[in-house]
Amino acid sequence: YEQAAQGSHLGVFPSYYEPWGYTPLEVAANGVLSITTDLSGFGIFIKEHYPNQKEKPGIMVLERENKSHGEVVEKLFELLWYVVSMNRNERIPKKAQAKDLASLADWKILIKNYIQAHNMALERFHK
């Protein structure tokens, strides 16, 4: 899987709903550009950590929330055209950036949130 992902130039995951969205994270963690949406937990997470999406980071967030089908299709086309129009010198730094952004979701960082949620659930259960 990792070798197949690393051999790609782009992962496209325009999900309508995704509680988190591990696939765009996995692809980006392997140094591949990725497109996710603002209807996935991972897309929301990236937007929070990289709010200026106009710069088109290595992980691009397609806005789907409150958008018409036509608007989503047009924006996805623009993102795809942006990627296929890149030359090698433009693409390589974006691949590194994708990997760096994916590292923000490392379990070493996020585990504290899961432990906190678990402890809160236990406290509510025992009340």
Q: How far is CA 15 from CA 25, 37, 41, 50, in A?
A: 13, 6, 11, 20
Query: For the residues of 4-69, what is the DSSP string, one character each?
Result: HHHT-SEEE---S-BSS-HHHHHHHHTT-EEEEETTBHHHHHHHHH---GGG--SEEEE--TT--H
In contact, 123 and 81? CB cutoff 8 Å: no
For residues 30 and 59, what is the distance between their CA atoms, to the nearest angstrom? 12
pLDDT of amino acid 55: 84
pLDDT of amino acid 32: 96
Pairing type for strands 33-37 and 10-12 reads: parallel
For residues 106 and 111, what is the distance between their CA atoms, to the nearest angstrom? 8
pLDDT of amino acid 110: 87
Q: Read off the pLDDT band of 51 (50, 70, 90).
A: confident
Over residues 91-98, mean pLDDT: 94
pTM of the model: 0.85
20-39 pLDDT tens trace: 989 999 999 999 999 999 99
58-93 pLDDT tens trace: 999 999 999 999 999 999 999 999 999 999 999 999
Looking at per-residue pLDDT, the higher value among 54 and 20 belongs to 20
